[in-house]
């Protein structure tokens, strides 16, 4: 969709912080608690071993997503903090962010991208599946959590 601008920012940038806080609040409404207890460090999203992106629509920040290295081989990226504000949903923001994250990870030498998602996020599952992601064995913080779904795809 035209009009979407995607910028690379630091994970601890105030705009990124506001969006990730909103993302966690959304997850908290769906699942309870803090939304996501996965340990995350701002340094994880520093190039060349990660990146964090913010999408703007009409000059307003409306979404975010990032990737960080996963595993020891340096070939996998893990998608984290994918989120679009409610008012911008259905306008192609998430798809544009996903493509930008994949491109960034690919440019940094990653060959595969993986993610964790919960079963109470049907819109996210639909996005991932329609973008070529396939369900994989669970990994990470929620690997043993009932309702966790993990996805991956080659870059």
Per-residue pLDDT reduced to its tens digit, 43-75: 999 999 999 999 999 999 999 999 999 988 889
Sign of the Cα pseudo-torsion (126, 132, 137, 139, in order): negative
Mean pLDDT of 140-154: 91
Q: Decide if 63 contacts 83 (C-beta within 8 A).
A: yes
pLDDT digits (tens, 9 = 90+) for 93-135: 999 999 999 999 999 999 999 999 999 999 999 999 999 999 9
Residue of 151 and 141 predicted with greater confidence: 151
Taking residues 136-144, report their average pLDDT. Answer: 90
Q: Could you tell me if 84 and 93 are in contact, meaning their C-beta atoms sit under 8 angstroms apart?
A: yes
**Is it the case that residue 89 has pLDDT exceeding 90?**
yes
For 118, other C-beta atoms within 10 Å of its C-beta total 18
Domains in the chain: ranges and CATH:
4-154 (3.40.630.30)
- Over its C-alpha atoms, the chain yields an Rg (Å, rounded) of 14
Residue 141 pLDDT: 84
pTM of the model: 0.94
- pLDDT tens digits for 15-41? 999 999 999 999 999 998 888 888 999
Sheet bearing 148-154, strands edge to edge: 4-9, 50-57, 60-70, 76-84, 112-118, 148-154, 134-136
Give the percent of the chain with pLDDT over 90: 86
Q: Which of 62, 72, 48, 68 is closest to 5 using CA atoms?
A: 62
């Amino acid at each position: 969709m035209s009009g979407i601008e995607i910028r690379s920012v630091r994970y601890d940038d105030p705009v990124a912080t506001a969006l990730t806080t909103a993302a966690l609040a959304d997850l908290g409404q769906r699942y309870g608690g803090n939304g996501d207890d996965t340990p995350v460090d701002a340094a994880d999203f520093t190039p060349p071993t990660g990146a964090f992106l913010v999408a703007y629509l009409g000059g307003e920040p409306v979404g975010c997503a990032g990737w960080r290295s996963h595993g020891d081989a340096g070939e996998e990226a893990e998608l984290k903090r994918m989120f679009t504000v409610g008012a911008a949903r259905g306008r192609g923001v998430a798809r544009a962010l996903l493509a930008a994250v994949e491109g960034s990870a690919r440019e940094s030498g990653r060959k595969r991208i993986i993610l964790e998602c919960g079963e109470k996020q049907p819109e996210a599952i639909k996005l991932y599946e329609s973008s070529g992601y396939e369900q994989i064995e669970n990994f990470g913080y929620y690997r043993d959590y009932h309702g966790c779904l993990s996805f991956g795809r080659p870059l």
